[in-house]
Amino acid sequence: MKRREIIIVSILTALLIFALLCVGCSKAPDTAGQPTKTPESTGPYPMAPEFAIEPQFDDAGDFSEGLAEVKIGDKWGFIDTAGKLVIHPQFDEVWTFSGGLARVLVDGTYGFIDKSGTYVITPKSSAALDFSEGLAVVRMEGKDGFVDKTGRFVINPRFDEALSFHEGLARVKVGDTCGYIDKNGGYVVDPKFEGSGSFSEGLAPVIVGDKRGYIDKTGTYAIPPQFDGVGDFQEGLARVRNGTKWGYIDKTGGLVVAEDFDYAMDFKEGLARVTVDKECGFIDRNGITVIYPLFDDAGAFSESLAPVQREGKWGFVDKTGRYVIDPKFDGASSFIEGLARVKQDGKWGYIKNPLETN
């Protein structure tokens, strides 16, 4: 072969290799995390939902401690995981079981029942919260106190407002200021904050002036008030807002996820729901978009699935954004104890978690 021909062939070969490298290095379309239907040859998704309890209730709640509240007509009762009515609908309103007892409302007063439907604490208080850490908030004659599971006041009603115990302390309000008490009713943190929340992962949000920060269990600022809005710490991070945008901080107060979101929710199972331009998606703890924002609404991940709404219908996606159950329901909640409540044709029922049944 002549020298010129060798040079031409060499140039053409080099150009071909360069072209192939450019194709291999070109940026892929930014579609990571968007829900797609996986081809049947590569997996079983989406799956047909399997009803554990057929839609038949006018309203329903999530399962807790093996029972779920359901509404038939204008009264509430409870079913078990087989769909059997174990507590006949007879209450004006009910809440989930916590610590073996459920709060109920009858004729404007609150009481507590056990899992047989028997009153453990007869309805007599004007307000109440669920049992937490063995005690429940009840209101008598305009003041909040705490009762044990026999209905006996352990901490007499003397607060203008109280929240449930979390991590051994309860937030109480006296006049216009909030503090924290222990289970003996003694102040651990004196009332001095204009607003505050419950402890979570060792820290509680507080309001001073028009700013929010966090205190530890001694009442010392762990993160000085500096935010316009805050949430609880979950999985080591808390959502915070400055102006109209939300991001996430760690327990030092350092911003670990930039304030880029129109709204944000707590982390659950390593992912958090965020809203951008009225569409919902999910990010990981590094702020990386794992599921692209394209849903009209979405719930939190639980048992590896999250309920999502698109074009008026609800389905479920996994942590890659792939539909495990196509959107077909008029309402849906997260999976709890292996079941998720869904609404179909005006009635509520419960489907099984397909990841646990297949």
Q: What predicted TM-score, i.e. pTM, was given to this entire model? A: 0.85
Q: Is the pLDDT of residue 17 over 70?
A: no
For 316, other C-beta atoms within 10 Å of its C-beta total 31
Mean pLDDT, range 306-312, rounded to an integer = 97
Mean pLDDT, all residues of the chain: 90
What is the predicted pLDDT for the residue at 45? 79
Distance of alpha carbon 22 from alpha carbon 33, whole angstroms: 25
- pLDDT value for 357: 65
Domains in the chain and their CATH numbers? 36-75+262-358 (2.40.128)
- Rounded Cα distance between 169 and 192, Å, is 16
Distances (CA, A) of 234 to 51, 144, 266, 271, 277: 32, 28, 6, 11, 25
| Distance from C-alpha of 218 to C-alpha of 188, rounded to nearest angstrom | 7
* pLDDT over threshold 60, residue 209: yes
pLDDT score of 247 more than 80: yes
Helix (H, G, I), strand (E, B) or coil at 251: coil
Q: Does the structure show a pLDDT above 90 at 19?
A: no
C-alpha angle with apex 91: 62 to 149, nearest 5 degrees? 75
What is the C-alpha separation between 308 and 169, in angstroms, rounded?
A: 35
Q: Is the pLDDT of residue 10 over 90?
A: no
Please name every residue paired with 105 in a beta bridge, in sequence order, or none if there are none: 93, 110
For residue 195, the surrounding DSSP H or E stretch is strand 195-196
User: What's the rounded mean pLDDT across residues 314-335?
Assistant: 97
* Mean pLDDT of the region 123-149: 98
How would residue 358 be classed by pLDDT, with cut points 50, 70 and 90?
A: low
Per cent of the chain over pLDDT 70 is 87
- Dihedrals φ, ψ of 17, to 5°? -65, -40
